[in-house]
Structure 1
Amino acid sequence: MLIRTEIPVDAAGIDRLLRRAFPGGAEADLVQQLREDGLLTLGVVATDDEGGVVGYVAFSPVDIQGEDRNWVALAPLAVDEPLRRQGLGEKLVYEGLDSLNEFGYAAVVVLGDPAYYGRFGFKPAAAHDLQCRWPDTEAAFQLFTLSDEALSDASGQVEFSPPFDRF
């Protein structure tokens, strides 16, 4: 198993994984659109011994009240069914957070299960007066800071990239 930053040759394997993991194809379409629009900040893949994509996490830019504060959103995260509950998702998330930290990003937001993402240090964004546009998501909308200054004067609506408008 190899965990690394995605490269162009991974795109087809990422698409197949996302379509297996998320029936309906919305997440696969989202990643494809983010990539086409130049809005895929970082993608991390896990590949098997034959080079097939078996895990993936994407990060894309978000704004706070229309201001670019060097924050990103984590979405989607996928692991092939036979490999779930073995720590692969955790490795993908940590690899992404480490890379984003090295690149100087300030914070990461996620809309997901608080019990799962809380293990990585994500905290409720609402505690910092931050919210997203989707109704009834306060508990699921979470934040991970990568810099001490990330929350300085940060509050209000977190705006995801346009491809998320389909959700």
Structure 2
Amino acid sequence: MQIEQEHPEDALAIHRLTEEAFKDIPFSQQTEARIVNALRAAGALTLSLVARQNGEIVGHVAFSAVRINGEPGDWYGLGPVSVRPAQQRKGIGQALIHDGLGRLKAMRAAGCILLGSPAYYSRFGFESDSDLHYGDVPPGYLQFLTFQGPAPKGEVTFHPGFDVS
């Protein structure tokens, strides 16, 4: 498997993969593919990584800048993460996340924030803190991983591309 930055000609394959990956997920509102497209159209994809096996895209992860207390900084949001259903639970998503986090560190990012399962993302070192908020998201599901500097505190704002319906 190879992990690399997406190429312009990958956009349709990423869209289809993301739709397929979230098709039967109960908590999904089926907006993930549109979110990736909106972030790409706005030039807001800081990192958009694909996993290829035998030349075929089998996974994708997006990272985009977030604001804390309305202020831009060096914090990035992780997501969506998509893996072809037949390839799930084989380490592709983990590899994409590890690679992306390594690239963010190399960019001297302060850290990464996400909305997701504490049981899954704690394996990467993500944690939650009551001093960090995102709307009415239940405690524990807004998580962060600090690379340098202090832990984030306050209200997180993701790019408007996440507000697709």
Q: TM-score, normalised by structure 2?
A: 0.91
Identical aligned pairs, as a percentage? 41
Mapped partners of 1:105, 1:60: distance in 2: 12
Q: Does 1:47 align with 2:52?
A: yes
The ranges of structure 1 where at least 4 consecutive aligned residues each deviate by more than 6 angstroms after the TM superposition are: none
Q: How many angstroms does 1:165 deviate by?
A: 2.3
Q: Verify the 8 A CA contact 2:77 2:114 in the aligned structure 1.
A: yes
The 5 Å alignment of 1:120-159 reads: 120-126=124-130, 129-133=131-135, 135-147=136-148, 149-151=149-151, 154-159=152-157
Which one-letter code corresponds to 1:119 in the other structure? Answer: R
Q: How many angstroms does 1:125 deviate by?
A: 3.5
What's 1:102 paired with?
106
The CA deviation string for residues 95-139 of structure 1, in whole angstroms up to 9 with x for no partner, is 00000111111110010010100000000142xx11112x24221
Task: Tell me which moved more, 17-26 or 65-74.
Answer: 17-26
Q: Does 1:34 align with 2:39?
A: yes
The CA deviation string for residues 70-89 of structure 1, in whole angstroms up to 9 with x for no partner, is 11110101111111111111
Q: CA RMSD in A?
A: 1.4
Instruction: Name the CA shift for 1:119/1:106 in 2 (closer, same or farther; >3 Å).
Output: same
Unmatched runs of 5 consecutive residues or more in structure 2: 24-28
What's 2:62 paired with?
58
Task: Tell me which moved more, 32-41 or 137-146.
Answer: 137-146
Mapped partners of 1:150, 1:77: distance in 2: 26
Mapped partners of 1:136, 1:15: distance in 2: 26
The CA deviation string for residues 34-54 of structure 1, in whole angstroms up to 9 with x for no partner, is 0001111101110120x2211
Structure 2 residue matching 1:100: 3-state secondary structure: helix
Instruction: Name the CA shift for 1:35/1:125 in 2 (closer, same or farther; >3 Å).
Output: farther
Unmatched runs of 5 consecutive residues or more in structure 1: none
Which one-letter code corresponds to 1:42 in the other structure? Answer: L
Structure 1 residue matching 2:72: 3-state secondary structure: strand
Q: How many angstroms does 1:30 deviate by?
A: 0.5
